[in-house]
Amino acid sequence: MVLDLPEVLGFDGFAPLSDSSVEDFIKSAIPPLHVKRVTRVKYDPQIRLTTRYVKPDTIWAKGLVVIGEARENKELHEVEIVIRPRSEQDSQEDIKRVIAHEFGHNVFASVLTSESQKFWKQIVQVEWTAEELVRFAYAEDPKEEAFCDSYADYVNKIDIFNPHHPNSFQFLQEYVFNARTLF
């Protein structure tokens, strides 16, 4: 499958990554099927992110700052990924992790079947502790956020969840990145 890259803009001169290095990251780390529907990856320090996936009363009350968002246009079947800096100290790794996390939302919504989504949520229910899921309390669906974080870890070769979440790792390895059919 030939990779049709999304438009990448806004990183040059503002972020610790350039537009071309983000393109290279997407080409090397995100499978072509996972890029499908994503039309733009945009870095904008001035953007106000919406709280479509987030319970507004909890995120703002806890003082958390959203630094990425996958905006879906259902009519056009497109997704735009928007990144806003968290601080001046954001590293290349931080930004790549946020980009991968937002691609994870696209994968969860458009690549996984509803049966695969349910299976993922069952894995999280059994394998993840309540304490681990607390960090996703801001979200409408903490188990989807767990998927997106695990997806970002896998893409960025951060193997922190594998020993504690072997079934989560196996799910990502076999059904998400090696495209085996689950159901």
CA–CA distance, 48 with 40 (Å, rounded to integer): 17
**Segment 16-35, tens digit of pLDDT:** 889 999 999 999 999 999 99
Cβ pair 140, 55 in contact under 8 A: yes
**Segment 101-142, tens digit of pLDDT:** 999 999 999 999 999 999 999 999 999 988 888 888 777 888
Q: Which residue has the higher pLDDT, 71 or 131?
A: 131
CA–CA distance, 20 with 31 (Å, rounded to integer): 18
Query: What pLDDT is recorded for position 59?
Result: 44
Query: What pLDDT is recorded for position 107?
Result: 95
Sheet with strand 38-43: strands edge to edge: 7-9, 38-43, 78-83, 68-73
pTM of the model: 0.86
Average pLDDT over residues 145-172: 85
**Segment 44-54, tens digit of pLDDT:** 877 765 555 55
Q: How confident is the model at residue 63 (pLDDT cuts 50, 70, 90)?
A: very low
Q: How confident is the model at residue 2 (pLDDT cuts 50, 70, 90)?
A: low
Cβ pair 86, 65 in contact under 8 A: yes
